Structure 1
Amino acid sequence: MSFSKDVKEELSNQINSARHCQIAEVAAIISLCGRISISVRDEYMIKIHSENLTVVRKFQNLLIAAFHVRPEIIVRQKKYERNIVQTSELRSDMEETLKKGNIYIAIVKQSDIAKNILKATRLITEYGDIKENLSIVDNIVVQNTCCKRAFIRGSFISSGSISDPSKAYHFEIALPTRPKAVQLREMLKVFGIEAKIVQRKRYFVVYLKEGSQIVDLLNVMEAHIALMNLENVRILKEMRNSINRQVNCETANINKTVAAASKQVEDILFIKELIGFGELDEGLEEIATLRLAHPEASLKELGQLLSVPIGKSGVNHRLRKLSIIADNLREHKEEKL
């Protein structure tokens, strides 16, 4: 099971005890993947369509909790467009037997019940008219902070996804209209979460790419198990990155030291070959001899090997002098040529 599916599974098993929060979550599901039909006899019907069984199961459980209604469930094969299951109860264990690639539909056929649900979620006007695009923008059911949490949770279950955090940090919810996307982004701001919006084909995607922001959002949706799992992955990734940075830094330092030592040996050998060490003062001759004898030694180690030990800066100063002498000798040699 993917990480995204794990999060939705955890959220689908949560039913808030407050009815107003249950209604807010129902409003999100209907708004994002619901269809409402009104017959010529003014009879209402609600349909929830999803390729994700979790969405329909959560919608069913919310209706039972908030309205004491159990919707009819239909499972339809996408390829043949025929019903393979029709039941009044959708259980989590059914997911093992239902095939992938199906469409899951929850239907509330009773007109009076459907109308009551739509009135409670404020998705129809007081005159019974359906709000444009089932919009919940400025809807009173999401005025409370707790109801905003529920609405965000319902939105994610309906049309959201989250990447495996061990590979990348990416959270998104796809919405059918820009106003809905803007509204969701503003809801997230209430909790200090700065999301962005991008248009992808006919959808407007509200997304996050920062691990810390995704952790905060999981906390807002009350997906605490998923939050802990993501934090464990983040800690492991940060430890690996820290170790890699340290190793890279140490490797770079080693390479730098080796390159510097090679250049020093090259300069000293050039001096020795051209004029010998006889014209060098005692300190330079001693450090030159030690460097040739110990090409892999650090500056500190070379300093301790001297007859009168000196520090790293003193050793570095003498080796730089040798480098200058070698460069001057090279220039004089080139001039003669």
Structure 2
Amino acid sequence: MSFTSETKQQICYEKLDEKSGRAQLCALLQMRASLHMNWQGMYLSFQIENATIAKHVFQLMKSLYQVDPRLSVLKKMQLKKNNIYRLQVYEKTKEILSDLMILTDTGLHFSPPAVYTRSQTNARAYLQGCFLAGGSINDPKTTNYHLEIATHEEQMAKGIQKLMQRFYLPAKMIVRKNTYVVYLKAGDKIADFLRLCNASQALFDFEDSRIQRDFYNNLKRLDNCELANEMKTLKAAQEQLNYIEVLEKNARKIKISEKIRHVMEIRKRFPEANMNELCEQCYLEYGEIISKSGMKHRLNKIKELAKPLMEEEHA
């Protein structure tokens, strides 16, 4: 089961009071339902590929409006050939849509009704319904954090975006193949959305994976940084050894102080040592306390002495 399916399953199992149930059902129908007419009159059709959500909608309809939706299972003939669960409501259709503020005297509405999103609890339930009907979330173990809710209605998408921003979720909206997508990219904000939806186990799994992933990324970054520093140290050390070799070949031509000779000997004995280690070895071998900047100065002095001699050799 995908991370999205697990999250939706957890949302479906949450107990709702009557008003929250209506708010959630309102979002589900706005996102997924279609209105039809036949010789019997008006009827409502809701279809989805997730069996748990279909069962959840069935139970909401039955408990809130005492109707008995007709359930049918269709086989998708393209791509993965998944089952499609269709619920059809032939009774109280107008009453249900009117009560949910989807159908009024001015027609069908696809924006979050104020009556069902005024309170924080109902607004949460409404967003839960939106996610159940058209939401998806990347598995936190993958490379990118991404949560989105897709709808064919621009008005609906703008309403969802506004609701999410009300909960300090900086949702953005794009148009993708005639579909309006409201999305979040930041890992901490996706975690906040899961918390808002009361998907506790999904939130725990998401945060656990996110912490592990961020830890390993930081560790890898540190390892890369250390490796780069080590390579830099080795390269500098090799150059210093080359300068020392030139000075030793031309020892009769130049005068080298005792302190510089100490550094030359230490560098030769510890070719892979960094600055701090060279300072420490200098103290252990010669009892000489030298700072990092002092060691750097002496190594630069070795370079200054060797450069002219190297130029003479290549002249």
User: Would you call these one fold, judging by a TM-score over 0.5?
Assistant: yes
In the alignment, structure 1 residue 23 sits paired with structure 2 residue 22: yes
Q: CA deviation at 1:305?
A: 3.9
Deviations 1:156-212 (A, max 9, x none): 111111011110211011011221111100000110000111111010000111100
Residue 47, structure 1, aligned to residue 23, structure 2: no
> Are the counterparts in 2 of residues 302 and 315 from structure 1 also a CA contact under 8 Å?
no
Aligned AA for 2:36?
Answer: S
Of 97, 101, 105, which aligns to 2:86?
105
> Number of matched residues?
309
Cα offset, 1:330, TM superposition: 2.7
The answer (yes or no) to whether the contact 1:24–1:151 under 8 Å persists in 2 is yes
Q: Are the counterparts in 1 of residues 24 and 129 from structure 2 also a CA contact under 8 Å?
A: yes
Does 1:165 pair with 2:140?
yes
Bigger shift: 325-334 or 67-76? Answer: 325-334
Match 1:57 to one of 55, 80, 102: 55
Structure 1, unaligned stretches of length 5 or more?
81-98
User: 281, 295, 299: which one pairs with 1:319?
Assistant: 299
Deviations 1:132-164 (A, max 9, x none): xx4134543222221111111011111111011
**Please, which moves more after superposition, 25-34 or 248-257?**
248-257
Alignment-mate amino acid for residue 62 of structure 2: I
Q: Is the 8 A contact 1:287 1:306 kept in 2?
A: no
- The answer to whether the 8 Å contact 2:262/2:282 transfers is no
- Equivalent-residue separation in structure 1 for 2:172 and 2:2 (angstroms): 24
Distance in 1, matches of 2:190 and 2:59, equals: 26
Distance (Å, rounded) in 1 between the aligned partners of 2:266 and 2:233? 16
Paired position in structure 2 for 1:268: 244
Q: 2 CA distance for matches of 1:139 and 1:289?
A: 81
Aligned equivalent of 1:256, options 232, 242, 251: 232
Greater mean alpha carbon deviation, residues 274-283 or residues 291-300 = 274-283
Which letter does structure 2 place at the counterpart of 1:54?
A: T
CA contact (8 A) 1:32 1:159 kept: yes
Q: Give, in angstroms, the shift of residue 45 of structure 1.
A: 1.1
Following the alignment from structure 1 to structure 2, what is the Cα–Cα distance between the partners of residues 175 and 277?
A: 83
2:2 aligns to what? Answer: 2
Matched position secondary structure for 2:14: coil
CA offset digits 1:78-115 (Å, max 9, x no partner): 339xxxxxxxxxxxxxxxxxx952221011112xx222
Q: Is the 8 A contact 2:112 2:160 kept in 1?
A: no
Equivalent residue number for residue 242 of structure 1? 218
Q: Deviations over 1:303-331 (max 9, x none)?
A: 22442322233222211100111123234
TM (norm. structure 1) is 0.85
Structure 1: how far apart are the matches of 2:252 and 2:289?
Answer: 24
**CA apart distance, 1:277:** 8.3
TM-score, with length taken from structure 2: 0.91
Residues 299, 316 of structure 1: 8 Å contact kept? no
What RMSD, in angstroms, separates the aligned Cα atoms of the two structures? Answer: 2.1
Letter in 1 for 2:55: R
CA distance in 1, matches of 2:210, 2:253: 58
Within 5 A, what are the aligned runs for 1:186-205?
186-205=162-181
Letter in 2 for 1:103: I
The Cα offsets for residues 30-52 of structure 1, whole Å up to 9 and x where unpaired, read as 111101124466x3311101222
**Matched-pair contact (CA < 8 Å) for 1:35–1:48:** yes
Contact 2:72 2:87 in 1 (8 A): yes
Q: Hey, what's the Cα distance between the residues in 2 that align with 1:253 and 1:277?
A: 35
Q: Which amino acid aligns with 2:15?
A: I
Q: Which residue of 2 aligns with 1:185?
A: 161
- Match for residue 124 of structure 2? 149
Instruction: Please state if 1:217 is matched with 2:197.
Output: no
Shift of 1:263: 1.0
Question: Secondary structure at the residue paired with 1:194?
Answer: coil
Out of 114, 118, 121, the residue aligned to residue 93 of structure 2 is 114
Structure 2 unmatched ranges of 5 or more:
none
Distance 2:75 2:163 in 1: 36
Q: Partners of 1:176 and 1:246 in 2: how far apart?
A: 45
Separation (CA, whole Å) in 2 of partners of 1:321 and 1:305: 22
1:281, CA displacement in angstroms? Answer: 1.3
